[in-house]
């Protein structure tokens, strides 16, 4: 039985040697308990600017089970995970970060859980967000509340991309070949029986996170737009509401005009302006929302590849 471990790497020269050692420990322990289990390590270099590439090549030179894919530039972690899954030949396939935030020590237990046959996926979920800016945790929690209210699929708060999956699951994920990939949603969308293992937040061993607040914010919007069309309905509902309110207002004035016999209303300039500004804002917002979706249709319709490879290990 082959187990593939996929590691997306972007500027990870500091963490890679530590991770590789940990992976070798897992392999050693696992093959001692069950000699039937073989491993392949797939490193996807997502256009790093540091020594990541040469470190990976060095691993590959000394270790036959190290495979790699190098991207021609930085395509993002989503693309790196996709490339890794395409390359993986294992019966079980895991994805883990290079920075040790996804503890490799959990892998043996995950393998056992899949072996039991009760689950198709074992996924990690962090139950604390210590070491993370407070404001970021707050926004993250709001995001999960919001997206879960709008989407049909349940996206677990704190779920990481760290997971061990059976072949069938990975094939299902690969069959979703959209360009704007939001993995947290894709993982939930394909379904299968998932076991959650919980762990506390671990800080990265070296280097720094590639996520700024704004990148995360864009990512959240991308996730919502990718997985639900619910926001489009806001415009419809608001439209109904204002049309109805306008109608009632009209009736009211009409009846009042008849009763009071006043036919020339010229006052009300500020209220008129407020209404115009408010409605204009709403209309622009609705247009922007539609634009978000159209933009994505445009990008998908170009059907560009998800990543470009510059170099790859031979199988």
Give phi and psi for 126, each to the nearest 5: -95, 140
Q: Which residue has the tokens 């994920």?
A: 173
State the greatest distance between any 2 C-alpha atoms of the chain, in Å, as a whole number: 96
Does 53 interact with ligand UDP (rule: CB under 6 A)?
no
What lies within 8 Å, CB to CB, of 84 at 6+ separation is 4, 6, 7, 8, 42, 44, 69, 95
46 contacts which partner out of Mg ion, ligand UDP, none, CB within 5 to 8 A by kind? ligand UDP
Smallest gap from residue 206 Cβ to ligand UDP (A): 10
Does 143 interact with ligand UDP (rule: CB under 6 A)?
no
CB 140 within 8 A of CB 160: no
Residue 152: alpha-carbon gap to chain centroid: 16
User: Residue 101 or residue 228: which is nearer to ligand UDP going by CB?
Assistant: 101
Edge-first strand listing for the sheet containing 38-45: 194-199, 121-126, 159-166, 92-95, 2-9, 38-45, 66-71, 309-312
181 contacts which partner out of ligand UDP, Mg ion, none, CB within 5 to 8 A by kind? none
Pick the binder of Mg ion from 4, 11, 48, 101 (CB under 5 A).
101
User: Residue 74 or residue 275: which is nearer to ligand UDP going by CB?
Assistant: 74
For residue 127, give both structure tokens. 């139950």
Smallest gap from residue 230 Cβ to ligand UDP (A): 26
Does 136 interact with Mg ion (rule: CB under 5 A)?
no
Segment near Mg ion (CB under 5 A), from 9-17, 62-70, 130-138, 202-210? 202-210
Does 15 interact with Mg ion (rule: CB under 5 A)?
no
Provide the 10 A C-beta neighbour count for residue 229: 11
Does 46 interact with Mg ion (rule: CB under 5 A)?
no
Smallest gap from residue 245 Cβ to ligand UDP (A): 44
Axis-axis angle for helices 183-190, 167-175 (nearest 10): 120
> How many degrees, rounded to 5, is the angle at CA 158 between CA 154 and CA 162?
95
User: Residue 77 or residue 163: which is nearer to ligand UDP going by CB?
Assistant: 77
Measure the CA–CA gap between 65 and 247, rounded to whole angstroms. Answer: 71
Q: Which residue has the tokens 């009042």?
A: 256
Segment near ligand UDP (CB under 6 A), from 98-106, 175-183, 227-235, 291-299? 98-106
In the stretch 81-100, what mask flags binding to Mg ion with x, by CB under 5 A?
A: ----------------x-x-
DSSP 8-state assignment for residue 259: H
Smallest gap from residue 40 Cβ to ligand UDP (A): 18
Pick the binder of ligand UDP from 13, 40, 99, 120 (CB under 6 A).
99
Segment near ligand UDP (CB under 6 A), from 7-15, 138-146, 174-182, 192-200? 7-15
Q: Which residues pair with 2 in a beta bridge?
A: 38
User: Residue 183 or residue 194: which is nearer to ligand UDP going by CB?
Assistant: 183
Closest to 106 in 3D by CA, of 95, 117, 91: 95
185 membership: H or E segment, kind and range: helix 183-190
Pick the binder of ligand UDP from 65, 74, 86, 180 (CB under 6 A).
74
Residues that bind ligand UDP (CB under 6 A): 8-10, 12, 46, 74, 76-77, 80, 97-99, 101, 204, 209-211
Residues near Mg ion, by CB under 5 A: 97, 99, 101, 204
């Amino acid at each position: 039985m082959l187990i593939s471990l996929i590691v997306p790497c972007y500027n990870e020269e500091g963490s890679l040697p530590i991770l590789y050692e940990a992976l070798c420990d897992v392999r050693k322990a696992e093959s001692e308990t069950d000699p039937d289990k073989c491993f392949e390590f797939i490193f996807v270099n997502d256009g790093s600017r540091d020594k990541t590439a040469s470190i990976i090549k060095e691993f590959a030179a000394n270790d036959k089970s190290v495979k790699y894919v190098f991207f021609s530039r930085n395509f993002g972690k989503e693309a790196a995970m996709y490339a890794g899954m395409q390359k993986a030949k294992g019966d079980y396939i895991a994805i883990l970060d290079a920075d040790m935030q996804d503890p490799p020590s959990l892998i043996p237990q995950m393998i056992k859980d899949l072996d039991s046959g009760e689950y198709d996926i074992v996924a990690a979920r962090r139950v604390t967000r210590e070491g993370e800016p407070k404001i970021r945790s707050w926004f993250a929690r709001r995001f999960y509340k919001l997206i879960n209210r709008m989407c049909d699929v349940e996206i677990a708060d704190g779920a990481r991309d760290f997971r061990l999956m059976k072949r069938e699951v990975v094939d299902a994920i690969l069959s979703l070949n959209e360009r704007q990939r939001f993995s947290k949603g894709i993982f939930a969308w394909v379904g299968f029986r998932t076991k959650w293992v919980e762990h506390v937040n671990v800080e990265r061993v070296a280097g720094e996170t590639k996520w700024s607040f704004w990148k995360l914010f864009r990512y959240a919007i991308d996730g919502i737009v990718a997985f639900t069309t619910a926001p489009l309905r806001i415009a419809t509902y608001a439209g109904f509401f204002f049309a109805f309110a306008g109608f009632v207002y009209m009736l009211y004035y009409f009846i009042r005009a008849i009763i009071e016999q006043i036919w020339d209303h010229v006052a009300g300039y500020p209220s008129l302006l407020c209404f115009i500004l408010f409605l204009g804002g709403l209309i622009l917002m609705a247009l922007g929302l539609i634009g978000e979706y159209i933009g994505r249709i445009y990008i998908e319709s170009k059907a560009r590849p998800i990543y470009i490879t510059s170099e790859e290990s031979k199988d």
